[in-house]
Structure 1
Amino acid sequence: MKVKLDIRNITYLVILSAFIIFVINACKRESLTLSTTDDVNITGFLEKNPEKFSLFTQILERSGTKGYLAAYGKYTMFTPDNNAVNDWLKSLNKTAVDQLSAAELKDVVRFHVLPDTVATGKFTDGKLTQITLYGQYLQTGVTFKDGVSSFIINKQALITQSNVRVGNGIIHVIDHVLIPSTKTLAASIETNNRYSIFTQALKETGFYDSLNYVQSVIPDTTRRFQTVILESDSALQAAGFNNYAALKAKLSKTGNPKSHTDSLWMYVAYHISTGASYTPDIVSSPSLATLVPSEIITTKLVGTKILLNDDEFNGVIEPGVEVNRTFSNVTTSNGVLHESKGFYKIKPRVPTGVFFDIGDQPELKLLAAWRAPGQTIQLLQNGKLITAGIRLDAYRSGTIGPVYAVSSTPIGASDGRSYANRDVIQFNPTTSNTARSIWMEIRTPMLVKGKYKVWICYTYNGSGPLTQVGVDVGTTQEQLLPNLVDFAQTLTSSGVPTANAALPSADGLMLTNGFKRYMATTAEVSNGVNGLQPISQNNLWSVMVGKLAGVVDIKTTDKHWVRFTTLRGNGTGIMNMDMIHFIPIDDDQNYPRFSPSGLIYKRP
């Protein structure tokens, strides 16, 4: 039997279903109207609803922009309703749209239009990825009032009707006209009495001028937008700088603050980065590049706090400074302004050895199973890695991921595979099984810019893969290291026979051929009892391998990504990754050495 359905009922069901999905996804967000229309363009929709949009239609007509918004294309328009336009006119002491020039109104329209379709599902807590036709970003967020949440644009206008789809785009109705920023970064800083000390530093170093360009005349297009994170006068005074003279006396060593070698110039440059980075952009990236060549600001989110340069370097915690959210995300005509709660500057460092136990993943260290004897943790859970410091080939990591494993053998027992700190991460790379990854990456601790020999420390597996090691692959700083790492090799591949394994004289030959011991052979003491000699007992000394992948030239002091790309592997051979050593090229490459219980042995 055929059933005749009323098209209005079908339309109602479709809209109702979409509305329900939207409400679920919004999670208690205000129930905004999700509409469809048969109009072929934006202007047609506005003209059909004069009771709400007659004034904005007048703005389109007088500005000469009605034509292109009636044409084919893909646009998103944030459309003020009549009440919003009337309030805006009143704030300008105007009573009608025609009291404003066509050029003024054209800028108004351009600031409300994006050259792409952007539904609310793509909104984030921060700037939209598409820039307006006016040339400034719009900032989106959510505001709460009377238990109801609503989208807010530029902290100025609430969306009252969203995702109205027309033939050439999307309309979001807003309750206020959006006002673009007219002040530059330099002017915004100078006119705020919180920043008098930093303002003077900007002027004396020459950065005031570079932060004061309007976009239409900016000479360096790479600095069309910039981000400044600065200290208030009170923060600088708390750090001992009561005025600009005190700051200059402390930092300006050459007497010429405009010199790029002067510490005051570098201090200011260190507070500026290219691009418009709002707080969500800051926390989504581990670091911000600054205008000081090869110097970055590290960033992290701890709870609700955004911290700058809060680092652990060679086991030492270096407290950072907090971003003052109250005085941040200030949009200007050429960028965005943030404030820090404390004084910060470049941290002078020299290259030093970094001996990275890759089991030291922050997320793992929070778990009870971390370094607990005999424990294992699957790092790929529900299709997602639980550790931010590891990445896998996204196309081939569907089912089988890395495993964190801790040895169950107690200190003092005979165990030829006693990893440093007794933990290891096992990877299953392959070139033939689509359930496994072709490559995997590990993020390093902080590395100071300089040249390092890179040692991959692992435990032998007879079916282990052959891999190529690269650093920062896919970036402008990509480096592929020359020596392949074969996880099926033991230390005997260095040319040292088993009979000579324990002799100190073997170290030189191993090193010459790109191998080294990284585990200690000295007996440990545990509770007053001699412990095991982990790689010399039972002729198993050779299974714990340090292999030289090559020399890397680290250009920027930061955390970096080390990639292992599988060149040979059938999926049955496991990479038992223990440590990665980054040792300055002129430093001792053989020491320190490590023990299962965490003891570190320096050269005797």
Structure 2
Amino acid sequence: MKMKLNSHNAAFSVLLVVFMLFVINACKRESFTIATTDDVNITGFLEKNPEKFSLFSEILDRSGTKGYLAAYGKYTMFTPDNNAVNAWLKNLNKTAVSQLTPEELKDVVRYHVLQDTVSTAKFTDGKLAQITLYGQYLLTGVTFKEGTSSYVINKEALITQSNVRVGNGIIHVLDHVLVPASKTLAVSIESNSRYSIFTQAMKETGFYDSLNYVRANIPDTTRRFQTVVLESDSALRAAGFADYASLKAKLSKTGNPKSHADSLWMYVAYHISPGASYTADIVSSPSLTTLVPGEIVTTKLSGTKILLNDDEFNGVIEPGVEVNRTISNVTASNGVLHESKSFYKIKPRVPTGVFFDLGDQPELKALAAWRVPGQSISLLQNGKLITSGIRLDQIRSNTIGPVYSTSTLPFDNTRAYANRDLMNFNMSTSNNARAVWIELRTPMLVKGKYRVWICYTYNVGNYLLQTAVDVGTSQEQVLPNLMDTGQQLTASGVADANGGLPSADGLMLTNGFKRYMGTTAETATDGVTKGVLPTNSSNGWKAMVGKLAGVVDIKTTDRHWVRLTCLRGNGNGVNLDMIHFIPVDDDQNYPRFHPTPGVIFKRP
């Protein structure tokens, strides 16, 4: 299908080129719909238009597939016209369809058919969600030439007529015959002279064999499709590896590259991910699982660049590597290949405390009102959450969404939020305008065991919440301790008379509570700033509560989801400030925080 671009939408066409920012279904008008009656099926339509489709009709007939494509069902057929079939036959040194076997032609048909109705409105920049009957995915995109944009399949076949609606599905007409990938991932890599170093590493670590299976013969069905992101020889040389020998000398420490404990084995395994992930899939997911247990590759779209392992860890920016989009999305018979522009490997890290302020979310930090005193921002707007770091169990037309707010100056001693801001969540077990559960996406956590502290402001609504991590995944963990927002720090057994004193810390900790805000008896790391919570009064010290939810065993270094489920409560909402993930053997009481952003208190 072709779309003329005038000056009014020329600027929009530029956005279309930007990956994931352009949406192919922006083509509002679906012209070329040339059949809409329900009494014509796919084969019937082709037979009624022999001047364009007689050769593909012959392919259906000789392959024995005409019958099912004439029957009731829901199909999408990508149909090459006669010119396309003739060009394909010439490429094969054939002069007629009859010179190919029925089985060969059956594979051709299977590769052109989806068992679902997929109009161009459902196209994305990447693979179609539905797989062909042949068992390989099709790629869709848009190509631009002389002010005209056209849909393109597998980077070469233009759709010349789209969305031809017939009784049992949709037809898209192509100017090329689609040819499925015949090489496996291993052979695709080996046959490309750009990847000689990685090829040798792949062979010596044993991955060549597992990447060389024909899909029908693969013993592990979870590896039916795999994704490989690898470096070219030039990228490896730029990183200091002149050849495979130097790569092996640097990485292989055990002398046995096939050992799963060997760093060279881990290097190759870290470049392989289960499943077929094209670039659109990569940027729509926060990370790629790898074949190294517990290790992932984080993903990010920055402008038009796809970045791997471009992270902020404990406040430190760790630059990542860029995917070479020009030489990516290469389909193999059992997966897809991508190339990175630079060398990358597993980042060695040890578990360390993560003190997650709920206001530290990229979309919030980009707002002018972020951490401005006295501001309040509804995070549910027009039926959608404006931050990707929060999920609710349901969003209806009357749902009361979360609110981000900041305290004013001077600080209220009874509501001294860390970094001045907090989140308010309206939750309920019975009111369908309020969420039953909320989920919050954490910063990166290194695999290991952590004590999880939920830091909240005392609320007379007496909400009772249960904490869980990664619900619905294989790593789901429900933590044992319930959080009652009607409890103050005195619930730990500490009396008002000495509650604000440092001597009370041990008793609070023993009973699963802690103070997480600095007191007036403490001096921050700047050597000047004092805390705002009093130590010599029954007021204030007890309202900002750190409650131990339990211990979580993080199996994968990644960002995770924490779910809080409402078991009781229907009041004015839950005020959440921070979530602390502290390694089980580390100090659980410190650091402490202050309403002034960036001010912290370490153990005296």
Task: Give the aligned partner of residue 136 of structure 2.
Answer: 136
Task: Give the aligned partner of residue 13 of structure 1.
Answer: none
Q: What amino acid is the match of 2:132?
A: T
From 395, 417, 429, the equivalent of 1:431 is: 429
CA offsets, 1:18-40, max 9 Å, x none? xxxxx996347784436313434
User: What does 1:377-392 align with in structure 2 at a 5 Å threshold?
Assistant: 377-392=377-392
Task: Give the aligned partner of residue 453 of structure 1.
Answer: 451
Task: Give the aligned partner of residue 471 of structure 1.
Answer: 469
Count of aligned positions: 579
Task: Give the aligned partner of residue 50 of structure 1.
Answer: 50
Task: Give the aligned partner of residue 517 of structure 1.
Answer: 515
Q: What amino acid is the match of 1:106?
A: K
Q: What amino acid is the match of 1:466?
A: L
Question: 1:107: how far off?
Answer: 1.1
Contact 1:483 1:549 in 2 (8 A): yes
Task: Give the aligned partner of residue 203 of structure 1.
Answer: 203
Question: 1:106: how far off?
Answer: 1.3
Question: 1:97: how far off?
Answer: 1.1
Higher alpha-carbon deviation: 158-167 or 253-262: 158-167
For residues 450 and 527 of structure 2, what CA distance do their matches in structure 1 show? Answer: 38
Task: Give the aligned partner of residue 287 of structure 1.
Answer: 287
For residues 535 and 442 of structure 1, what CA distance do their matches in structure 2 show? Answer: 31
For residues 402 and 558 of structure 2, what CA distance do their matches in structure 1 show? Answer: 25
SS at 1:581 equivalent: strand
SS at 1:446 equivalent: strand
For residues 45 and 601 of structure 2, what CA distance do their matches in structure 1 show? Answer: 76
Higher alpha-carbon deviation: 366-375 or 559-568: 366-375
Question: 1:148: how far off?
Answer: 2.1
CA gap of 1:414–1:74, structure 2 versus 1, over 3 A, is closer
Task: Give the aligned partner of residue 591 of structure 2.
Answer: 592
**Normalising to structure 2: TM-score of the pair?**
0.93
Question: 1:215: how far off?
Answer: 1.2
For residues 337 and 315 of structure 1, what CA distance do their matches in structure 2 show? Answer: 33
Question: 1:432: how far off?
Answer: 2.4
CA gap of 1:272–1:514, structure 2 versus 1, over 3 A, is same
CA offsets, 1:179-203, max 9 Å, x none? 1111111111111111110000001
SS at 2:505 equivalent: helix
Task: Give the aligned partner of residue 573 of structure 1.
Answer: 572
Higher alpha-carbon deviation: 515-524 or 107-116: 515-524
CA offsets, 1:360-387, max 9 Å, x none? 0111111121111111111111111111
CA gap of 1:278–1:530, structure 2 versus 1, over 3 A, is closer
CA offsets, 1:102-142, max 9 Å, x none? 22111111111112222222111111111111111111111
Matched, 1:219 2:222: no
Runs ≥4 residues deviating over 6 A: 525-530
Task: Give the aligned partner of residue 342 of structure 1.
Answer: 342
User: What does 1:202-281 align with in structure 2 at a 5 Å threshold?
Assistant: 202-281=202-281
CA gap of 1:65–1:478, structure 2 versus 1, over 3 A, is same
Question: 1:294: how far off?
Answer: 1.0
Question: 1:524: how far off?
Answer: 5.5
Q: Sequence identity of aligned pairs in percent?
A: 78
For residues 223 and 259 of structure 1, what CA distance do their matches in structure 2 show? Answer: 20
User: What does 1:45-444 align with in structure 2 at a 5 Å threshold?
Assistant: 45-395=45-395, 398-410=398-410, 415-444=413-442
From 463, 481, 484, the equivalent of 2:482 is: 484
Contact 2:214 2:334 in 1 (8 A): yes
**Normalising to structure 1: TM-score of the pair?**
0.93
CA gap of 1:245–1:527, structure 2 versus 1, over 3 A, is closer
Question: 1:533: how far off?
Answer: 2.6
Question: 1:167: how far off?
Answer: 2.2
SS at 2:445 equivalent: coil
For residues 412 and 370 of structure 2, what CA distance do their matches in structure 1 show? Answer: 22
For residues 409 and 171 of structure 2, what CA distance do their matches in structure 1 show? Answer: 65
Task: Give the aligned partner of residue 17 of structure 1.
Answer: none
Task: Give the aligned partner of residue 504 of structure 1.
Answer: 502
Contact 2:518 2:531 in 1 (8 A): no
Contact 1:397 1:437 in 2 (8 A): no
Contact 2:24 2:125 in 1 (8 A): no
For residues 295 and 201 of structure 1, what CA distance do their matches in structure 2 show? Answer: 19
Contact 2:25 2:122 in 1 (8 A): no
CA offsets, 1:306-327, max 9 Å, x none? 1101111111111110100010
Contact 1:397 1:436 in 2 (8 A): no
Query: Cα RMSD between the aligned structures?
Result: 1.9
Q: What amino acid is the match of 2:586?
A: D
Q: What amino acid is the match of 1:364?
A: L
For residues 400 and 578 of structure 1, what CA distance do their matches in structure 2 show? Answer: 19
